[in-house]
Structure 1
Amino acid sequence: MRLLIASTNKGKLAEIMDLLQDIPLQALLPADIGLNIDVEEDGETYAENAEKKARAYCQASGLVTLADDSGLEVDALGGKPGLHSARFSGKPGATDADRRKYLLEKLAVHPQPWPAVFRSTVVIAVPEGKIHILNGECRGEIIPQERGTNGFGYDPIFLVQGLNRTMAELSMTEKNRLSHRARAILAARPVLLDLAVNRES
């Protein structure tokens, strides 16, 4: 089975493909099939955004499509940045480092600790119209100093609950057991395995 991953985020793709490597499917990127569409992520939940992406790419490609939406929710900021995690910055064209800096600036006026949770929703869209929605989360707290060189986004300042290590200090193997996205993908594995076994490639 060919599976389209509706993303251009290489870090995210590496995580997803590592989790699915033993399932009989061929994972493809939109660029692999010459697909370039822009889906406006204007939903009010992670599920709405992920479903919009999954349906749009599935319809355009005719392939089973996996899309996800995820975010970081910080208690002290009332759940922000949340849905806007990838665009949370005070300036246009911001990098991951800029967004981490901006988040820490916002948190500086609040007393520590700064409890937080990463949430992820994965949606699998099938050409016949059916969708599957799976969720995952990872709890921890934000710390003021960056630690670790793995991962991306807010990983270097997110201390995983119970580990005393940031998400960026975890190996790929560890992250693919513990991260919010990994937990959502792991929940999706039975769905993907069933589709791979029962659909023609």
Structure 2
Amino acid sequence: MRVVVATHNAHKVAELQRILEQQLPGIQLEAYDGPAPVEDGGTFAANALIKARAAAAHTGLPAIADDSGVSVEALGGEPGVDSAHYSGRRDDRANLRLVLTNLADEKHRVAAFTCAAALVDPGDDPVFEHVELGVWPGTIARAEAGVGGFGYDPIFVPEGHEVTSAELTADEKNAISHRARAFTALAAVLRNRYR
């Protein structure tokens, strides 16, 4: 089964390959090399669909995409859908440092990662579209720790853990993350459609 992943992020493609091949042995994920669409949706689901639609239209293949980010209660849900550009630019280090700065004197540090995983299949008439959501609750650490993962992983402590997600192994993270939860649910949809 060939499926295009609507991202230019090699880390994300590798992570999704590890997650999905457990559910769908033989799946071949291909990185999308077409133009990036404008992600102007107001929700994670809307942005995931924008990306999957663009990749499916460009390649003619079934496309999967995700949009994800961290929402912090004490920051009114920020960074949320603006997680990738929270500091005003696409810079993981600047983004997570801004979250730490904004929470400097805050004791209430509850947060959650959310992932919307979308599938768009242009081979159907009408085009098939489906979205699954995965939520990973936790808290924001007071300082960065760990070298694994990317984005906000060095400051996100998953519920039930005392280390950041950047300190988990790839296998540990892929078993419990927001992305794993959303794409495990989406894998069931893929399996039913393409077996």
The TM-score with structure 1 as length reference comes to 0.90
CA distance in 1, matches of 2:96, 2:69: 13
Partner of 1:25: 27
CA distance in 2, matches of 1:196, 1:17: 17
For the 8 Å contact 1:151–1:167, the answer to whether it is kept is: yes
Return the match for 2:141 from 140, 143, 158: 143
Once the two structures are superposed, the pairs formed by residues 177-192 of structure 1 within 5 Å of their partners are: 177-192=175-190
Deviations 1:26-57 (A, max 9, x none): 110113xxxx2121111111111111111111
> Partners of 2:41 and 2:55 in 1: how far apart?
16
Q: Could you tell me how far apart the structure 2 residues matched to 1:20 and 1:140 are?
A: 24
Residue 83 of structure 1, aligned match among 78, 81, 84:
81
Displacement, 1:196?
A: 3.1
Instruction: Give, in whole Å, the separation in 1 of the partners of 2:142 and 2:11.
Output: 23
Residue aligning to 1:117: 112
2:100–2:143: 8 Å Cα contact kept in structure 1?
no
Aligned to 2:69: 71
One-letter amino acid of the counterpart of residue 9, structure 2: N
CA shift at 1:25, angstroms? Answer: 2.2
Conserved? CA contact 1:113–1:142, under 8 Å: no
Measured against aligned partners, the alpha-carbon deviations of 1:164-195 in whole angstroms (never above 9, x if no partner) come to: 11110111111111110110011111112223
**CA drift at 1:60:** 1.3
Percent of aligned pairs with the same amino acid: 40
3-state SS, counterpart of residue 138 of structure 1: strand
> Which residue of 176, 191, 195 maps to 2:174?
176
**8 A contact 1:25–1:196 mirrored in 2:** no
Consecutive unaligned residues of structure 2, counting only runs of 5 or more, are: none
Query: How many residue pairs were aligned?
Result: 190
Give the Cα separation in 2 of the matches to 1:49 and 1:18.
Answer: 23
* 2:57 aligned partner: 59
Aligned-residue RMSD, C-alpha: 1.3
Equivalent in the alignment of 1:104: 100
Structure 2: distance between partners of 1:124 and 1:184? 11
CA distance in 2 between counterparts of 1:26 and 1:151 reads 22
Using the alignment, how far apart are the partners of 1:194 and 1:118 within structure 2?
27
Q: Which amino acid aligns with 1:3?
A: V
Alpha-carbon distance between aligned partners in 1 of 2:145 and 2:194, rounded to the nearest angstrom: 39
For 1:45 and 1:77, how far apart are their aligned partners in 2?
Answer: 17
User: What's the CA shift for 1:97?
Assistant: 1.2
Query: Normalization by structure 2: what TM-score?
Result: 0.93
Secondary structure of 2:118 counterpart? strand
